[in-house]
């Protein structure tokens, strides 16, 4: 029987299809990863079991995964809003560092007496984090809006500037006895963690999940609302889809470029604050294993949907956590790579319908 | 074993897309050396049928014979090897490369772009043979649209095509360029080429075609009829299935106060050259002022300076208030609506829904706009209403605008722009590329606007349209207004003279 493939463009994409292909590609990626594991002499099933144990095995490790997912969620959302307007903010990493610096200032300068109420200090840290991240987004936004400077280049370059700026402070001004880090913050500047309540609820002991995850969820909800219902979100969508039409509709594009970049930067800055105040508890050199860049991938894989960013972030956080457990650690990156490939190629299924047809029948 | 098989014989062609039967058992026969017009409304299936002949689509069933041989094309390459060349509506040229480079692109020879000079020679020969003159060493972006089309035709001829498919070649051309294209087509058929000419302009079919095939909604309604004795009216009937009224009733009424006034407006174009020179115009309440002119004489810039998309010197006022050199929102807030020249690149956002597109101008105001929010319930309801009222054909209001046909997209834009109850409206080429039925609808809508007291600036390259709709016609040439005439007693020859740059004679 002669068969051939027929590929047809889709007119309408059913609602269930995008999530199905996304989940399907992750499954296929794990299968492929398993095959590779087998080839190099590993035991794929055991490894998979180990992987899940290391990532979701109990409350403590799951909380660990969520701690890693927190900055990814916030940064993913930050990137999504810029990408929706086709603004290529690849400076979330720098904005994250800028936010961390701003938040640290509150404690290290200090901006207010450290015997102030905790709420006040935390809120001030959040505000400072967002202001500094926002400035780090505003600069490329302003340059793009006023002088048409390519934001890809400026956001990327600003990453290095802020990292070295931080280094100056931690190596010199704020150095803790010559170490390349500041002294640990006073507990008053720590975001509440679940383990803080271990006295009341025993089970929470060692569970490091902190309030930052709530920031992530709230950010996702707010940005979802902006996209779905707000005037601003509508303008962002319109500019992203056709800037000429947006201009024709009377929308001020320059103003929106600056606003969106600043907003995106402020969110990434909040991620930096949450990491400093929730996990690291001091300003130091490597506070991010590339969250700002992984966040870009997360935003794209979630198709810029703020809610989809949450599970995708958890998956990638899982891969980061598993990377510490699985040997060789490269396996985790390998899986990340395969997942990326699968998700990108699954896009074909969204745009085309592939059918197998019996050519004999066709001729008849 | 017939002595002279037809150049192309398509029989019982069926092409289906999900949800639509684009071609339903279509027959088409192209004789050698003839110009065969393929006529039909937008979406009738003309381009689809020709794409099958050019190897881009595969028919579900039916046979194609080229010069008697049964063929089964799997790619455009197969079609080219059988001597079939298609010039698409949207040119497929590389803007930064020269004419010669574009023509040679994708060919086996030359293998490396070293000495292209000797190919220039070969191309020049082709040019002389068919009268398709364009400098081979010029870069594409420097060429006018008409010249780019010549490059496309040369490309197919260079590949040895003797069956040419021209997909709506006149849609983008000025009247003078259309004349030149017709000359070229005639000289090509004289030298043995056969041409299929896709169009929906009746006048052109009558002017140039030997025979005509008419498609309506994927079905043939006239199969290869000789043009002798066929009238425009008859063809229009076959195309839309009903008589088309070509003269539209324009009630005369008294004009009101001046709504829009331009004084000594000058502007430069994107290349920094003067596009408008001291233009002074005014439009009154209830008046349609037509702007006639050959394309590219400052019409686009004229529309842009009024709507705030381009800066200028001089003064433009709406009801006495200055609106030029402000952001576009200024004009919108003063009741100026705009039907842009380019409905896809400017007028709509292709991947956003119908709703998102219909609220483009009105999303700031109540009841659609509601503070920071947009009330999408109201917006959807509004869109549904417009869709019914203006008869916009689309599966749903959530359909992306980019999936609409040209006519429906234009109706969407008109619905949006008229619904804002404009004080003044700039309509640029509102019917370009549309079929007869859609043109009629749009004309009626514009006249209704006039009747309701809007002032309208109608910029068009179709003299028919200007004469049918305008109260006065101003002629623009090289950015200057050459003269303004009452359309009642306008003389088409006089307008033609002014279009070519001669001043209006003053009695």
- Quickly name the fold that domain A64-313 has: ABC transporter involved in vitamin B12 uptake, BtuC (1.10.3470)
Q: Among A107-116, A298-307, B429-438, which is the least confidently predicted range? A: B429-438
In A, which residues are within 8 Å of B360 by CB distance?
238, 245, 248-249
pLDDT of residue B64: 92
B271 min Cα distance to partner chain A (Å): 18
Size of interface A-B (CB pairs under 8 A): 79
Residue B506 has pLDDT above 60, yes or no: no
Chain A residues within 8 A of B338 when measuring between CB atoms? 248
- Whether A231 and B352 lie within 8 Å, measured CB to CB: no
What single-letter DSSP state applies at residue B111?
S
pLDDT tens track for A162-173: 999 999 999 888
For B347-377, write each residue's pLDDT tens digit.
Answer: 999 999 999 999 999 899 888 988 899 999 9
The answer to whether the CB atoms of A244 and B346 lie below 8 A apart is yes
Cβ within 8 Å of residue B430, ≥6 positions away: B339, B410, B414, B442, B446, B458, B460
User: What is the pLDDT at residue A363?
Assistant: 47
Q: Do A248 and B307 touch (CB under 8 A)?
A: yes
**Would an 8 Å CB–CB cutoff place B340 in contact with chain A?**
yes
User: What confidence tens digit (pLDDT) does each residue in B90-99 have?
Assistant: 788 898 888 8
B374 contacts A231? CB cut-off 8 A: yes
Helical segments of B308-458, H only: 328-333, 354-358, 376-389, 406-419, 436-451
Using the Cβ of B343 and the Cβ atoms of chain A, whether some distance falls under 8 Å is answered with no
Establish whether this prediction's ipTM goes over 0.85. Answer: no
DSSP 3-state assignment of A357?
A: strand
The domains of chain A are located at: 1-42+327-364, 64-313
DSSP reduced 3-state for B480: strand
Q: Among A280, A286, A54, which Cα is nearest to A183's?
A: A280
| B383 vs A: CB within 8 A | no
Determine the residue among B346, B354, B401 to mutate to test chain A binding: the one whose Cβ has the most chain A Cβ atoms within 10 Å.
Answer: B346
Q: What percent of chain B has pLDDT over 90?
A: 36
Task: Confirm if B456 and B425 have CB atoms less than 8 A apart.
Answer: yes
From the list B327, B348, B374, which residue is nearest A229 (CB)? Answer: B374
pLDDT of res. A178: 80
Chain A: residue whose CA lies nearest to B373: A230
Nearest residue in chain A measured CA to CA from B363 = A231
> How far is CA B249 from each of CA A195, A267, A291, B94, rounded to the nearest angstrom?
82, 60, 67, 46
Of A54, A148, A103, which Cα lies nearest the Cα of A282?
Answer: A103
pLDDT for residue B244 is more than 50: no
DSSP character string of B128-162: HHHT----TTSBGGGS-HHHHHHHHHHHHHHTT-S
Q: What is the mean pLDDT of chain A?
A: 89
pLDDT, tens digit, 9 for 90 and up, residues B192-213? 899 999 987 777 888 889 999 9
Nearest chain A residue to B19 by CA: give it. Answer: A11
pLDDT band at A234 (very low <50, low <70, confident <90, very high): very high
**Distance from first CA to last CA of chain A, Å, rounded?**
13
Which among A8, A234, A244 has CB closest to B345?
A244
For testing contact with chain A, the best of B372, B383, B404, B422 (most A CBs within 10 A): B372
Taking 70 as the threshold, does the pLDDT of residue B501 lie above it?
no
């Amino acid at each position: 029987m002669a068969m051939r493939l027929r590929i047809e463009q889709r007119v309408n994409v059913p609602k269930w299809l995008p999530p199905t292909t996304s989940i399907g590609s992750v499954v296929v990626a794990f299968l492929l990863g398993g095959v590779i594991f087998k080839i190099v002499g590993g035991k794929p099933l055991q490894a998979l079991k180990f992987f899940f144990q290391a990532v979701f095995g109990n409350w403590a490790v799951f909380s660990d995964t969520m701690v890693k997912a927190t900055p990814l969620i916030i940064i993913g959302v930050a990137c999504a809003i810029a990408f929706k307007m086709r603004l290529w903010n690849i400076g979330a990493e720098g904005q994250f560092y800028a936010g961390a610096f701003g938040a640290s200032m509150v404690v290290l300068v200090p901006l207010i007496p450290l015997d102030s109420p905790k709420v006040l200090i935390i809120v001030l840290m959040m505000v400072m984090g967002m202001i500094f991240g926002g400035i780090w987004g505003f600069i490329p936004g302003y340059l793009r809006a006023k002088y048409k400077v390519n934001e890809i280049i400026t956001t990327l370059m600003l990453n290095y500037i802020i990292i070295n700026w931080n280094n100056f402070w931690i190596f010199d001004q704020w150095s803790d006895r010559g170490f390349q880090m500041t002294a640990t913050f006073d507990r008053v500047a720590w975001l509440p963690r679940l383990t803080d309540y271990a006295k009341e609820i025993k089970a929470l002991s060692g569970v490091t999940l902190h309030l930052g995850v709530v920031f992530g969820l709230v950010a996702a909800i707010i940005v979802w609302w902006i996209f779905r219902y707000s005037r601003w979100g509508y303008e962002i969508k319109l500019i992203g889809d056709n800037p000429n039409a947006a201009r024709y509709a009377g929308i001020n594009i320059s103003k929106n470029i600056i606003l969106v970049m600043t907003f995106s930067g402020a969110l990434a800055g909040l991620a930096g604050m949450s990491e400093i105040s929730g996990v690291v508890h001091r300003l130091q050199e490597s506070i991010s294993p590339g969250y700002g860049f992984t966040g870009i991938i997360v935003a794209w894989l979630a198709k810029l949907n703020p809610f989809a960013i949450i599970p995708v972030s958890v998956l990638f956080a899982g891969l980061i956590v598993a990377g510490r457990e699985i040997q060789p650690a490269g396996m985790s990156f390998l899986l990340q790579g395969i997942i990326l490939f699968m998700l990108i190629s699954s896009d074909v299924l969204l745009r085309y319908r592939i059918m197998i047809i019996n050519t004999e029948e066709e001729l008849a | 074993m017939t002595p002279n098989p037809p150049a192309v014989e398509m029989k019982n062609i069926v092409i289906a897309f999900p949800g639509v039967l684009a071609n339903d058992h279509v027959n088409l026969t192209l004789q050698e050396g003839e110009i065969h017009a393929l006529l039909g409304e937008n979406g009738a299936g003309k381009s689809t049928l020709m794409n099958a002949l050019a190897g881009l689509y595969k028919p579900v069933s039916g046979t194609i014979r080229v010069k008697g041989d049964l063929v089964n094309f799997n790619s455009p390459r197969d079609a080219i090897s059988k001597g079939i060349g298609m010039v698409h509506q949207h040119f497929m040229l590389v803007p930064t490369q020269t004419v010669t480079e574009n023509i040679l692109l994708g060919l086996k020879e030359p293998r490396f772009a070293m000495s292209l000079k000797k190919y220039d020679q070969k191309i020049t020969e082709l040019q002389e043979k068919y009268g398709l003159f364009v400098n081979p060493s010029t870069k594409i972006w420097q060429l006018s649209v008409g010249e780019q089309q010549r490059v496309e035709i040369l490309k197919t001829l260079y590949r040895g095509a003797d069956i040419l498919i021209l997909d709506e070649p006149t849609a983008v051309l000025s009247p003078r360029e259309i004349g030149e294209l017709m000359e070229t087509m005639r000289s090509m058929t004289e030298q043995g080429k056969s041409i299929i000419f896709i169009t929906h302009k009746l006048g052109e079919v009558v002017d140039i075609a030997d025979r005509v095939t008419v498609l309506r909604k994927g079905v043939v309604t006239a199969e290869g009829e000789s043009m002798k004795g066929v009238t425009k009216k008859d063809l229009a009937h076959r195309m839309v299935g009903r008589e088309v009224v070509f003269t539209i009733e324009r009630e005369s009424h008294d004009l009101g106060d001046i709504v829009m006034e331009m004084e000594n407006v000058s502007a430069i174009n994107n290349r920094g050259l003067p596009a408008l020179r001291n233009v002074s115009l005014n439009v009154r309440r209830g008046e349609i002022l037509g702007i006639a002119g050959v394309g590219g004489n400052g019409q686009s810039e004229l529309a842009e300076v009024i709507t705030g998309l381009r800066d200028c010197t001089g003064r433009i006022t709406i009801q006495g208030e200055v609106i030029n050199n402000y952001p576009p929102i200024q004009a919108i807030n003063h009741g100026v609506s705009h039907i842009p020249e380019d409905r896809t690149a400017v007028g709509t956002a292709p991947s956003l829904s119908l709703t998102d597109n219909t609220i483009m101008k009105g999303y700031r105001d109540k009841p659609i706009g509601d503070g920071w929010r947009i009330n999408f319930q109201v917006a959807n309801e509004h869109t549904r209403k417009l869709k019914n009222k203006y008869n916009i054909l689309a599966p749903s209001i959530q359909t992306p605008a980019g999936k609409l046909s040209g006519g429906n997209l234009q109706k969407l834009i008109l619905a949006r722009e008229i619904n804002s109850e404009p004080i003044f409206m700039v309509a640029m080429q509102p019917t370009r590329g549309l079929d007869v039925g859609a043109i009629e609808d749009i004309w009626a809508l514009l006249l209704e606007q006039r009747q309701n007291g809007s002032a309208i600036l109608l910029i068009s390259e179709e003299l028919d349209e200007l004469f049918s709709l305008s109260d006065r016609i101003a002629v623009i040439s090289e950015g200057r207004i050459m003269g303004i005439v009452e359309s009642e007693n306008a003389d088409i020859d006089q307008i033609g003279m002014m279009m070519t740059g001669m001043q209006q004679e003053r009695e």
